[in-house]
Amino acid sequence: MDDIDRSLVSRLVSDGRAPYADLARAVGLSLSATKRRVDRLVADGAIRGFTAVVDPLLMGWALSASVELFTTGTVPVERMKRDLDGMPEVVSAETVSGGADAVLRVVASDARHLERVVSRLRALTYVQQTNTVLLLSNLLSRPTPLTSAARSAGGQPQ
């Protein structure tokens, strides 16, 4: 990935609907060369997709929680991913080091809805315990840093 690719990705992160003509003008390439680069970035997996960013509150998701999953033994990641993928309230999930085996971000319409989701999580045969923390205010949420500042801070974007 070179500086032109990073610039294209950065611009698309800011505006996923940016017209190719605007992108081409910004990076100094022809329209067709810009489209080829974006297509390559998608094909290579650097850009995993384009999506709309919505306000959870306006979509009816009044509660947000962090749920730690503690499992019995070793659970295949593919199985856990498949099980969690079937729960639309789970908006992100990562395996982690430390006490818990996975940390999920869950959204729900209200406390009863969250309780039902946590009950479904606890019903998974490999879940031994959960720990749920309600999230009150989102202080910061941003896309992956793509700037040279991120590299100088120790990150190595590829």
pLDDT digits (tens, 9 = 90+) for 43-78: 999 999 988 888 888 889 999 999 999 999 889 999
The pLDDT of residue 52: 83
How much is the pLDDT for 95?
A: 96
Tell me the sheet residues that pair with 127. Answer: 71
CATH number of the domain bearing residue 78: 3.30.70.920
- Structural domain range at position 111: 63-135
Listed as ranges, residues in the chain with pLDDT below 50 are 149-153, 157-158
Question: What is the distance between the terminal CA atoms of the chain, rounded to a whole angstrom?
Answer: 6
pLDDT at 143 (0 to 100): 75
Picking from 138, 139, 141, the residue whose alpha carbon sits closest to that of residue 61 is 138
Sign of CA dihedral 63, 64, 69, 75: positive
Minimal CA–CA distance to 68: which of 95, 107, 86, 108? 95
Q: Which tokens go with 96? A: 């982690």
Same domain, 126 and 73: yes
Judge if 78 and 131 occupy the same domain.
yes
How much is the pLDDT for 75? Answer: 92
Number of domains in the chain: 2
Same domain, 71 and 127: yes
Structure tokens at 14: 């800011």
What's the pLDDT at 148?
52
Instruction: Flag whether 10 is in a domain.
Output: yes
Q: Let me know whether 30 and 71 are in one domain.
A: no
Instruction: Say what the pLDDT of residue 144 is.
Output: 74
Q: How far is CA 48 from the centre of its chain?
A: 10
For residue 35, the domain's CATH number is: 1.10.10.10
Residue 155, in any domain of the structure: no
Predicted local distance difference test score (pLDDT) of residue 145:
74
pTM for the model stands at: 0.74
